Amino acid sequence: MTVLRVIFSILVLHVACMIYAQNDQSGFISIDCGSESNYTQNGTGINYVSDDGFIEGGESYDLSRIRNYRTRVYNTLRSFPQNERNCYTLRPQKGKNNRYLIRAMFFYGESRGQPPQFDLHIGADYWATVYISDPSIYVVYEMLHLTSSDYIHVCLVNTARGDPFITSLELRPLDITMYKQRSPSSLILNYRQNFGTNETVRYDDDKYDRIWGLPNVVRVRAVQASDAVSLKSFSEEQVPLKVMSTAITPINSTELYYRWNATSIDEYIIYVHLAEVEILESNQKREFNIYNNGIFIGTFSPSTSITTIMLSSNSPTYELILRQTLNSTLPPILNAIEVYTLKQLLQNQTDDQDAAVMWGIKSTYGLTNLNWQGDPCVPQQYAWVGLYCNYNAPRAARIRSLNLSSRGLSGEIATALANLTMLDSLDLSNNNLTGNVPKFLAELDSLTFLNLMGNNFTRPIPAELLAKSKNGIEESSGEDKSSSTRIIAVILAPIIACIVVLSIIVFIMKQPRKKALIKSEEVLTPRKQQFTYSEVLSITNNFQKEIGRGGFGRVFQGSVGDNQVAVKMLSESSSQGYKEFQAEVKLLMEVRHTNITSLVGYCDDNNHKGIIYDFMANGNLGEHLFDGRPNVLSWERRLQIGCDAADEMNEGFQAKLADFGLSRAYPTEDASHASSVKVAGTIGYLDPEYHSTGRLTEKSDVYSFGVLLLELITGRRAITEGVNIVNWVQSLVEEGNVEAIIDSRLEGHFDINTAWKGVETAIACVCLTSVERPTMNDVAMDLKHCVQTEKTRQSGYMSLNLEGLNDLKPR
Ligand SMILES: *[C@@H]1O[C@H](CO)[C@@H](O)[C@H](O)[C@H]1NC(C)=O
Ligand SMILES: *[C@@H]1O[C@H](CO)[C@@H](O)[C@H](O)[C@H]1NC(C)=O
Ligand SMILES: *[C@@H]1O[C@H](CO)[C@@H](O)[C@H](O)[C@H]1NC(C)=O
Ligand SMILES: *[C@@H]1O[C@H](CO)[C@@H](O)[C@H](O)[C@H]1NC(C)=O
Ligand SMILES: *[C@@H]1O[C@H](CO)[C@@H](O)[C@H](O)[C@H]1NC(C)=O
Ligand SMILES: *[C@@H]1O[C@H](CO)[C@@H](O)[C@H](O)[C@H]1NC(C)=O
Ligand SMILES: *[C@@H]1O[C@H](CO)[C@@H](O)[C@H](O)[C@H]1NC(C)=O
Ligand SMILES: *[C@@H]1O[C@H](CO)[C@@H](O)[C@H](O)[C@H]1NC(C)=O
Ligand SMILES: *[C@@H]1O[C@H](CO)[C@@H](O)[C@H](O)[C@H]1NC(C)=O
Ligand SMILES: *[C@@H]1O[C@H](CO)[C@@H](O)[C@H](O)[C@H]1NC(C)=O
Ligand SMILES: *[C@@H]1O[C@H](CO)[C@@H](O)[C@H](O)[C@H]1NC(C)=O
């Protein structure tokens, strides 16, 4: 039996000496990483360029100091000791919606110790983990990539197993007709093997510069086409004649086997290339059946016209058999084979025009210190500093907000900005920008926030822009200072914000913002923390006013100095044990963010254990939301509350743990017991993962926050008549019925877009598994945008910050 043994390994190159020939390399991108010069490689004739224009950062390293390699590309590499992720950005001439071969090569070089291990990404998607078992061989990762963007980003991601590096990066345009599979996906190369030869074939025998490697074969005979055989017509895959003119057939057997074990759970796509290379006598016939994992594929009788068979399947082991038929006088033949795994690239990159603007801005202002690498928006975790993107736009991520405040920009406002058509917020404040404020800013339809203060623009400001801004008319009538101050106040409002204490305590509803702030500063001052029982008696005036009662004990109103407080006394029969009590006190004491911190002190005096919180008589959020009061919280107000709360949590998730992390302490707590003091950790808020893992994480807070957000949106409690709010909302979302989710008491007074966004954000927060939940930072950003959109929608004006331009009048 003839066995063709295939050992799965990464394609290892044996670069043989090849004849140099002038040929068309148009569209090729051949980068010698770490090289300082451009040159033509002896042998292949490939023109390599240095990686200067493709990457920022990293350190070039010259291996030839130790040993000079004949293949020059292996003499240098670029390594990346600094950033977690570094990207080469390629812009192929043919642009998007084309198929490209992308090949990254890694050669570490002997005697340099243990090679690193790191991840390779294409755009936002994982491609491979680069693993180098032997530093003296070249390791190649190759992909046939169908692009949907003009930009291709190949990124090296540090996974804490050594500094990533790269030796060369090559891009070759393919014809779009090549390697079509059922779905428009990319293909990751496993093997590409040419049988019956000792010579690696690549450019320019293969005009697409595929590298046809050499398999290990046993008990086979090589057959080569003689001059008398002329192979006809290329297959769709355009396999080069040089590859097709050699083949193998079995010795003393009627079968050829090709086997490998899957290393990926992805679907495998196999291309088998066949052509007859021998001259057959009239009484000879070559005919064989092909089986893929035992499944009959078909009967083939290769001619001098090239045939390519595409197979696909999903299996842990693979066995391809070519078996001679009874009628055949000759054994089977195999010329070449390619094995790929199918890769569905999931994340769409930034819109090309938006990306082009960002690359333009980066070069116009020489912004090399911001680590702007790879795609501007995608993946979200590596989005460029200063950008906020809309990831829900159809087709591609769009840039929504650009903040280049205090980035040392000089010169004029880049005209490229006119192409950021979905921009709704632009902050160019505190730079050295000069020249005219361009008119096109007024033509950006979505732009609702523009901050140009702290620059040195020439007058006048375009009348169109002033007309579009709320203060334009006032400004031209001379009340500059005051009106501009007013606008600034509007702009800063979301930041100053009211103070929201999530679940434990209180929500200040009607106090003016200024006051609220001052209040929190007073609360900030260090306070006495431990109280004796007799002090507690005096604080609560002998427990005169009970304001709440739960499984843990009772809550009383009291006062410490001018501060209204709530005193929670642990009952002796409480299900909250002493340990939990200590934990709660400890948690609350560790909390630094005073806007949420509500601990005034605690009492641990013999059998009397109690916790003293801030208490504000205006009532808590729940009362305003649920208790059928006549003044319904407006949609905008709800968004603002969500936004402020997210901000608070984002800045101090510790604080948040104090709120929700305490869920552990109140396993039997019932929401209905909470009146003025709503105890956190009621069942409905608790991260479902906690039940299985017993651990609360940062993402548990995100879950709890999501529930709070849903309460805000729906006006329903976390658990209503036994129905969990999360399930309730999810079922309505599935029906696409957002209107039904929003609190009916709003009577339709809300914007459907911000409503969708709010619901979407909340739903993301309450994903069952914590990894799927966004970070608190993302949530805060999303909500901020909702608030801004809602505000602008209501005002119908653009917020324009022109401080420092007050003396400039439109003409
Ligand atoms: C290498 O070639 C690129 C483009 O072909 C060019 O921009 C660059 O200046 C060249 N570098 C050197 C060092 O000649
Ligand atoms: C190509 O070969 C010649 C002669 O051996 C040598 O001088 C030259 O440096 C080589 N060029 C490269 C790029 O390796
Ligand atoms: C491969 O190389 C070996 C030794 O150089 C030679 O004997 C053999 O004929 C070659 N095989 C082919 C198919 O070229
Ligand atoms: C093939 O079979 C013949 C006769 O049975 C034998 O002499 C020869 O050694 C075999 N060759 C191989 C490579 O097994
Ligand atoms: C596949 O895996 C099996 C079991 O681990 C092993 O026996 C076999 O040699 C492997 N095949 C290949 C081609 O690596
Ligand atoms: C073998 O050849 C005969 C005559 O050419 C034909 O009738 C028969 O179908 C063939 N059998 C197979 C299995 O192809
Ligand atoms: C990505 O873009 C394609 C079209 O270019 C579109 O059909 C698809 O829905 C987009 N995917 C996402 C997740 O937006
Ligand atoms: C822009 O960033 C600066 C800090 O870098 C921040 O102070 C400012 O509020 C941001 N602007 C907007 C509109 O978010
Ligand atoms: C603006 O330019 C002036 C003079 O060129 C320079 O002194 C100043 O530091 C610059 N300011 C900023 C914020 O870059
Ligand atoms: C805006 O985009 C269009 C089309 O993508 C392009 O032709 C134009 O040059 C761009 N304008 C600027 C100022 O970059
Ligand atoms: C503003 O620009 C003018 C000239 O356009 C220059 O004379 C002046 O020094 C600049 N002011 C600042 C603060 O950079």
What CATH number does the domain containing 115 carry? 2.60.120.260
Clarify whether residues 318 and 398 are in a common domain.
no
DSSP letter assigned to residue 788:
H
Q: What is the pLDDT of residue 586?
A: 57
Are 742 and 809 in contact by the 8 Å Cβ rule? The answer is: no
576 CA from centroid of ligand 7 (Å): 51
Residue 263 to residue 316: CA distance in whole angstroms: 8
Angle at the Cα of 760 from the Cα atoms of 757 and 765, rounded to 5 degrees? 130
Which residue, of 321, 343, 365, is where some domain finishes?
Answer: 343
Are 434 and 456 in contact by the 8 Å Cβ rule? The answer is: yes
DSSP 754-781: HHHHHHHHHHHHT-SSGGGSPPHHHHHH
Please report which ligand is nearest the Cα atom of 3: 5
Query: If you take atom 9 of ligand 11, which residue's CA is the nearest one?
Result: 456
Using a 6 Å cutoff on CB, does residue 339 contact ligand 5?
no
Residue 52 to residue 60: CA distance in whole angstroms: 10
Q: What is the pLDDT of residue 550?
A: 58
In a domain, 271, yes or no: yes
Q: Dihedral angle at the C-alpha atoms of 667, 673, 677, 683, nearest 10 degrees? A: 30
Residue 55 to residue 57: CA distance in whole angstroms: 7
pTM more than 0.85: no
In a domain, 488, yes or no: no
Q: Give me the CATH number covering residue 316.
A: 2.60.120
> Which residue segment(s) compose the domain that 235 sits in?
202-343
Query: If you take atom 12 of ligand 10, which residue's CA is the nearest one?
Result: 416
Clarify whether residues 676 and 721 are in a common domain.
yes
Q: Which residues have CB under 6 Å of ligand 3?
A: 196-198, 222
Of 808, 787, 14, 66, the residue nearest 401 (C-alpha)? 787
Tokens read off for 316: 């842990």
348 CA from centroid of ligand 7 (Å): 6
Using a 6 Å cutoff on CB, does residue 325 contact ligand 6?
yes
DSSP letter assigned to residue 552:
T
Q: What is the pLDDT of residue 425?
A: 92
104 CA from centroid of ligand 11 (Å): 49
SS3 of 65-131: HCCCCCCHHHHEEEECCCCCEEEEEECCCCCCCCEEEEEEEECCCCCCCCCCEEEEEECCEEEEEEC
Please report which ligand is nearest the Cα atom of 435: 11
Clarify whether residues 286 and 308 are in a common domain.
yes
Most informative mutation of 432, 452, 453 for ligand 9 (most atoms within 8 A of CB): 432
Which residue, of 343, 361, 393, is where some domain finishes?
Answer: 343
Q: What is the pLDDT of residue 25?
A: 94
Tokens 């963010």 belong to residue? 593
Query: Which strand (E) or helix (H) includes residue 734?
Result: helix 725-734
DSSP letter assigned to residue 203:
T
Please report which ligand is nearest the Cα atom of 253: 4
Tokens read off for 584: 């709660």
Return the number of other C-beta atoms located less than 10 Å from residue 705's C-beta. 30
Tokens 């822009």 belong to residue? 465
Could you give the number of structural domains in the chain? Answer: 4
In a domain, 588, yes or no: yes
Weakly modelled stretches of the chain, pLDDT under 70: 1-23, 469-528, 548-552, 573-599, 614-631, 648, 650-683, 694-696, 792-811
Are 127 and 143 in contact by the 8 Å Cβ rule? The answer is: yes
Using a 6 Å cutoff on CB, does residue 456 contact ligand 11?
yes
Most informative mutation of 15, 39, 42 for ligand 2 (most atoms within 8 A of CB): 42
In a domain, 643, yes or no: yes
Query: If you take atom 4 of ligand 4, which residue's CA is the nearest one?
Result: 252
Residue 187 to residue 711: CA distance in whole angstroms: 46
Tokens 């193998």 belong to residue? 248
Tokens read off for 455: 């620059």
Annotated binding site: 568
| Burial class, 677, CB count within 10 angstroms (exposed 0-12 / middle 13-18 / buried 19+) | buried
Tokens read off for 580: 């939990």
Residue 211 to residue 134: CA distance in whole angstroms: 20
Residue 744 to residue 762: CA distance in whole angstroms: 18
Residue 103 to residue 30: CA distance in whole angstroms: 10
Q: Which atom of ligand 4 is nearest to the CA of 219?
A: 13
Q: Strand, coil or helix: what is 715?
A: coil
809 CA from centroid of ligand 11 (Å): 18
Clarify whether residues 764 and 637 are in a common domain.
yes
Using a 6 Å cutoff on CB, does residue 37 contact ligand 11?
no
Query: If you take atom 10 of ligand 11, which residue's CA is the nearest one?
Result: 456
Sort strands 255-261 and 4-5 into parallel, antiparallel or unpaired. Answer: parallel
Q: What is the pLDDT of residue 699?
A: 82
In a domain, 485, yes or no: no
Using a 6 Å cutoff on CB, does residue 436 contact ligand 11?
no
In a domain, 23, yes or no: no
Q: Strand, coil or helix: what is 303?
A: coil
What length does the chain have? 811
Tokens 């083939």 belong to residue? 300
Clarify whether residues 655 and 601 are in a common domain.
yes
Tokens read off for 493: 């409002």
Return the number of other C-beta atoms located less than 10 Å from residue 197's C-beta. 18
Annotated binding site for ATP: 568
Residue 504 to residue 807: CA distance in whole angstroms: 49
List Cα–Cα distances, 284 to 216, 245, 301, in angstroms: 29, 20, 12
Query: If you take atom 7 of ligand 6, which residue's CA is the nearest one?
Result: 327
Clarify whether residues 114 and 213 are in a common domain.
no
Clarify whether residues 450 and 397 are in a common domain.
yes
In a domain, 509, yes or no: yes
Tokens 């003409």 belong to residue? 811
Are 474 and 797 in contact by the 8 Å Cβ rule? The answer is: no
**Contact partners, residue 38, CB within 8 Å, separation at least 6:** 47, 48, 49, 50
Contacts from 436-445 at CB under 8 Å and sequence distance 24+? 436/412, 436/462, 437/413, 437/461, 437/462, 437/465, 438/412, 438/413, 438/462, 439/464, 439/465, 440/415, 441/413, 441/417, 441/465, 442/467, 442/468, 443/418, 444/417, 444/418, 444/420, 445/421
Clarify whether residues 541 and 664 are in a common domain.
yes
In a domain, 805, yes or no: no
List Cα–Cα distances, 789 to 13, 413, 418, 468, in angstroms: 56, 25, 21, 16
SS3 of 384-406: CCCEEEECCCCCCEEEEEEECCC
Using a 6 Å cutoff on CB, does residue 349 contact ligand 7?
no
Q: Which atom of ligand 10 is nearest to the CA of 353?
A: 5
Please report which ligand is nearest the Cα atom of 404: 8
Residue 280 to residue 291: CA distance in whole angstroms: 25
Clarify whether residues 96 and 217 are in a common domain.
no
In what side-by-side order are the strands of the sheet with 449-451? 387-390, 398-403, 425-427, 449-451, 799-801
Most informative mutation of 405, 496, 650, 782 for ligand 8 (most atoms within 8 A of CB): 405
Of 273, 27, 71, the residue nearest 168 (C-alpha)? 71
Sort strands 307-313 and 268-274 into parallel, antiparallel or unpaired. Answer: antiparallel
Using a 6 Å cutoff on CB, does residue 427 contact ligand 8?
yes
List Cα–Cα distances, 209 to 8, 153, 202, 239, 618, in angstroms: 22, 20, 5, 11, 74
257 CA from centroid of ligand 4 (Å): 18
Query: If you take atom 10 of ligand 1, which residue's CA is the nearest one?
Result: 38
Clarify whether residues 71 and 100 are in a common domain.
yes
Which residue, of 343, 365, 393, is where some domain finishes?
Answer: 343
Using a 6 Å cutoff on CB, does residue 432 contact ligand 9?
yes
Which phi-psi region, left, alpha or beta, contains residue 561 (left: φ > 0; alpha: ψ -120 to 50)?
Answer: left
Are 57 and 84 in contact by the 8 Å Cβ rule? The answer is: no
437 CA from centroid of ligand 9 (Å): 19
Percent helix, strand, coil in the chain, to 5, is 25, 25, 45
Sort strands 425-427 and 449-451 into parallel, antiparallel or unpaired. Answer: parallel
Clarify whether residues 763 and 614 are in a common domain.
yes
Residue 420 to residue 357: CA distance in whole angstroms: 7
Using a 6 Å cutoff on CB, does residue 434 contact ligand 11?
yes
Q: Give me the CATH number covering residue 760.
A: 1.10.510.10
Clarify whether residues 330 and 358 are in a common domain.
no
40 CA from centroid of ligand 1 (Å): 12
Q: Dihedral angle at the C-alpha atoms of 505, 509, 510, 516, nearest 10 degrees? A: 60
Q: Which atom of ligand 6 is nearest to the CA of 327?
A: 1
Q: Which residues have CB under 6 Å of ligand 1?
A: 37-38, 49-50
Most informative mutation of 284, 296, 327 for ligand 6 (most atoms within 8 A of CB): 327
Tokens read off for 48: 């390599």
439 CA from centroid of ligand 11 (Å): 21
Query: If you take atom 10 of ligand 8, which residue's CA is the nearest one?
Result: 403
